[in-house]
Structure 1
Amino acid sequence: MTRRIIHIDESPIRFERWHRRLPNWLKRFLPSGGGSYEDHHGKGMFGFTVFLLSESLIFLSFIFTYVALRLTHSRDWLPPGVSGPELSNFVIINTVVLLSSSFVIQPAENALRSGKLNKFRWLWLMTIAMGTYFLIGQIIEWSKLDFKLSTGLVGSTFYVLTGFHGLHVLTGVILQIIMLVRSFIRGNYNKGHFGASTTTLFWHFVDIVWVFLFSLLYLWRA
């Protein structure tokens, strides 16, 4: 019989009372106490949350740099003959598709936790399709823009911001494909669904970041 090992919380600050007041959806990202040795999911989710916080710092540095450049070069932000990124119906539809995917992937994860594997697969596949649609739409938009990466500040900042975000979307789609393939391995998710949970969290992060980028790049007009 395997002995259950408990890690004792030796932190000088006790957060138990504060932790109890949090909603259930947030508690799984902020484990309290020492926890059990076998609680790989809770420790892993906390570690992945810290990783996403570090990723958010990178995006924040890009965003603050963009804002500073816009404010200090407001008069010559757009070179002659360049209109900049336009808020077209195409961009709006692409954005709606990406943000809507968060409302698809979360029920997919919930279905997996409830043991509804087929429902998980269909919703997960739909999220993959929506993410792929966004990536293809972004490539099409890039091909139609009247400026390139080398076109002053407007070009370098736009392509760096959207390109770095697009790289995260691509990573999310690849992770989703891996999780979908693993769902066809018999018994793969019987012992837990850490991979699907972290992929879902990563996808929510990608969508939230796009809200800020979309507001800066398309809604902030000179």
Structure 2
Amino acid sequence: MSDSSHYFVPANSKWPIYTSLSMFLVVSGFICIFNELSGAYAVFGAGFLALTYCMVGWWRDVTVESEGGKYKEWEDMSFRWSMGWFIFSEVMFFVSFFGALFYARVLAVPDLGGLDSKVIWPQFEAIWPTAGPYFPDNFETIPAFDVPLVNTLILLTSGVTVTWAHWALKLNKRRQLNIGLALTVLLGVIFLAFQVQEYVHAYNDLNLRLDSGIYGSTFFMLTGFHGLHVTIGTISLIVILGRCMAGHFTPDKHFGFEAVAWYWHFVDVVWLFLFIVVYWL
């Protein structure tokens, strides 16, 4: 039998299985949308609503436990280790996509332009960006020093504002805390709005799509998954902002805030690599 006086053991929860089923619906709906199946948007919408319900319920329960004094030193330590390993797993997630880009750009494309491949694909030129030998290179890339540069400045500024909010919390300056967090949320929303605009421009004007060969697939996979992480981070920041406005967290006990701040800084760093490797070089 576990000693709950030493370490808080929560009661059995329905949220893990509910969340898993909701994510299954979301992913299934997304796949159906790509394959243009009937009812795809209904499945995706149902999964999204179910996932929203799970997030609200699960966060509510955790907030009640936290504010009820259930989490002490041992719980705080386990939370920090868990968040650290979670961010490490996210790093490895993006490393796999950066690895695919590296393989295509540095190894596969030059090899396809070699003498042996010239016999099979005489019209192919081993120049990056390329769609590959099976696709016509009839797309344009997005200039790095346009919207991507603006988004870089936005995310770097958001890193400053969330750090400002963190220091304000440590000094118990609640007004500065709320302002810093609100600005971070606003910058996250602006970033996402610019990214949506960029995608619309790429599809409608540049003929740059997810199926535009190796360049299109790596570009949208990297930037798209990063945009998903920015969305998750922005939602988490909104939740933390609401808790801060409700008077939650203290200068000495605020790991919920720190976890989201760590995640947001991780998102910033990934974007810097994206800007340099995908847009600039």
CA distance in 2, matches of 1:89, 1:128: 22
Aligned to 2:215: 154
1:126 lines up with 2:186 in the alignment: no
Of the three residues 198, 203, 209, the one matched with 1:141 is 198
> Are the counterparts in 1 of residues 182 and 241 from structure 2 also a CA contact under 8 Å?
yes
Alpha-carbon distance in structure 1 between the residues aligned to 2:74 and 2:265: 24
The 8 Å contact of residues 162 and 180 in structure 2, kept in 1 or not, is answered as yes
Which AA in structure 2 matches 1:106? T
User: 2:162, 2:272 → 1: CA distance?
Assistant: 17
Letter in 2 for 1:118: R
TM-score for both structures, normalised by structure 1? 0.78
Which residues of 2 match residues 82-101 of structure 1 at below 5 A? 82-101=139-158
Partner of 1:25: none
Does 1:216 find its partner at 2:251?
no
* TM-score in terms of structure 2 length: 0.62
Judging by fraction of residues, say which structure has more helix: 2
Match of 1:172 among 215, 220, 233: 233
Q: 1:61: which partner in 2? A: 96
Shift of 1:39: 3.9
* Equivalences, count: 187
The CA deviation at 1:110 is 1.5
Runs of 4+ in 1 over 6 A off after TM superposition: none
* More relative contact order, 1 or 2 (CA 8 Å, 6+ apart): 1
| Distance in 2 of aligned mates of 1:93 and 1:5 | 49
Q: Is the 8 A contact 1:85 1:217 kept in 2?
A: no
Q: Does 1:73 find its partner at 2:109?
A: yes
Q: Which blocks of at least 5 consecutive residues in structure 1 are unaligned? A: 7-36
Contact 1:179/1:196 (<8 A) preserved: yes
**Alignment partners' CA distance in 1, 2:178 and 2:99:** 39
Question: Shift in Å at residue 216 of structure 1?
Answer: 1.1
Aligned-pair distance for 1:5?
Answer: 5.8
Out of 204-213 and 67-76, give the one that drifted further: 67-76
Deviates more, 1:135-144 or 1:75-84: 75-84
User: What stretches of structure 2 of length at least 5 have no aligned partner?
Assistant: 8-71, 111-125
Q: Which moved more, 1:82-91 or 1:170-179?
A: 82-91
Identical positions, percent: 31
Q: Match of 2:167?
A: 110
Q: 2:85 aligns with which of 47, 50, 69?
A: 50
Shift of 1:40: 2.8
